[in-house]
Structure 1
Amino acid sequence: MDHAHALALYDREMREHARPDGPGARIERAGRVVRQVAGPLDWNGVLWSRLDASDADAAIAEQVAHFGALGLEFEWKAYGHDRPDDLGDRLLAAGFTAEAEETLMIGEAAGLDLTAREPDGVRVVPVTDARGVDLVAGVHEEVFGTDASRLRHRMLAQLAATPDTLLAVLALAGDEPVSAARMELVPGTGFAGLWGGGTLPAWRGRGIYRSLVAHRARAALSRGYRYLQVDASDQSRPVLERLGFAPLTTTTPYVRTP
């Protein structure tokens, strides 16, 4: 995989020319900033910018005013190669709070190791209804320690309105959900995104996460997607590298509450 080409394509297709990521969301272009505006239960924020030291502070102030007038919390999703170099410091000075840095990893689906299967005693099932969504949300809350009401709302809306953009799966041991993950498919692009892969502590170290990555990668390849993208934590990065993903840059969410 040509890393520079893949990153440039990601910036162009997934950020600069982004599509709304769910029903009711809209993409707006304000000068040299691309943002998504949705609602209080959906993701709102800045996806892409082309700024420099001369206009960054004014652009940041404009976004703060815009989302503040709507009464919406929003995220400025900043990447390690974004400009100006001190964009993060400028966001902090404007009242944003930085969340944990992650690594943007991209893999060419045809070149990944897709041989991993679920371990003995575990089966992978698709999520197609509200009960399955509730089980995914329950795993998410237990693994990540965060409220999953927004995730529940988003998944239900996608399954109802645009089911071809979401593939969610549960790993079950008997009838017990022990891991969950989803894949966001972006029609008209070459990218599918892997999200939410989380396994209950008692079930880690058995290859479940690896098998769910391979399961979703096979599904993306069968649907004609060339690249898989992950915002990887330090825990998942080594597994993804062994499967063939490459780290291309970092990504840090800067969040501002009105």
Structure 2
Amino acid sequence: MLQPFHDLEDSSIIQAIEANTCEFLLTLGRLGGGEERSDEEVQWTIGGAPIGYHNCVVRARLTAETADEAIVASARRFQAYNVPGTWHVGPSMQPEDLGTRLLAHGFSDGGEEPGMAADLLNINEQISFPAELAITRVGNEEELQVWTQTLAAGFGEGEIETNWVGAMYGKIGFDEQGAWHHYLGQLNGKPVATTSMFLAAGVAGIYFVFTLPQARRKGVGAAITLAALQDARNRGYRVGVLGASMMGYAVYQRLGFQEYCRFHLYEWE
């Protein structure tokens, strides 16, 4: 695990954000049976998912002479598998004009995701949320099905994405000591919120934070994120990381997250 948060340089925090995100994407891609390339230049998983976000290039150490060849090679693999795909261009990727080159080869600009991190010993735990909210850790297939159905009500690409994610999580299982943990929020006994935690690269990564529209603006999203972070802290982790949506950015700031970097998405349809 990483050092205490206050001892870390910003560069170490950024590396941890990137590493957790990369391993999250690669692990799900492998579970889906994706083809993986991993060498000194590029790392990707392609063909294991029905959605572009998880058919992805996650690392690139390229030069002006090798970048275009690698971009074309990734596009050919997307085409070979007949899947959409993405390049997740993080702060360590090279060359600096990689985004411009991707656009020139037919990729579209998919926008940015802020990479954020928080000190788990100093998160803001004084948040208000409904007293009727109950948050539990998903521990079996039946609970995972409820988690998946809740996420499908509006997250990402809907049922196509969430059914695939749920199937991959079913393959992983529910080991209490494992790297993956999923949480379900229920309001008055009805499921209204989800999140997942992935323990890798010495940090706790937060993913799939979602609240049903009718339960928003009540502190539910903050509460379920906080529950996962508290669980990570109890397991000995000191740093939480995540990629924020525009909707969730202010919520994460209130919990104590700060932005350290950005991931730029380039999409292949």
Structure 2 SS opposite 1:110? coil
Aligned letter for 1:59? Answer: A
Listed one character per residue, the Cα deviations across residues 39-83 of structure 1 (whole Å, up to 9, x for unaligned) are 234722111111233322122112222333333332211125633
The equivalent residue for 2:240 is 228
CA distance in 1 between counterparts of 2:217 and 2:23 reads: 38
Greater shift, 104-113 or 81-90, is seen at 81-90
Q: Is the 8 A contact 2:194 2:209 kept in 1?
A: yes
Tell me, yes or no, if structure 1 residue 239 matches structure 2 residue 259.
no
The TM-score with structure 1 as length reference comes to 0.84
**What RMSD over aligned residues (CA atoms) do the two structures have, in Å?**
2.8
Residues 226 and 158 from structure 1, CA distance in 2 versus in 1: closer, same or farther, beyond 3 angstroms? same
Greater shift, 143-152 or 8-17, is seen at 8-17
Aligned letter for 2:141? Answer: A
Match for residue 6 of structure 1 among 7, 13, 22 = 13
Q: Is the 8 A contact 2:146 2:191 kept in 1?
A: yes
Q: Structure 1 stretches (4+) deviating beyond 6 angstroms? A: none
Q: After superposition, where does 1:74-223 map in structure 2 within 5 Å?
A: 74-80=85-91, 82-116=93-127, 118-144=129-155, 146-163=157-174, 164-186=178-200, 189-223=201-235
CA distance in 1 between counterparts of 2:126 and 2:143 reads: 26
Pairs aligned (count): 255
CA distance in 2 between counterparts of 1:182 and 1:161 reads: 13
The TM-score with structure 2 as length reference comes to 0.81
Match for residue 47 of structure 1 among 37, 48, 58 = 58
Structure 2 SS opposite 1:119? coil
Residues 13 and 184 from structure 1, CA distance in 2 versus in 1: closer, same or farther, beyond 3 angstroms? closer
- Extract unaligned runs of 5+ from structure 1: none
- Extract unaligned runs of 5+ from structure 2: none
Distance apart, 1:118 and its partner CA: 4.6
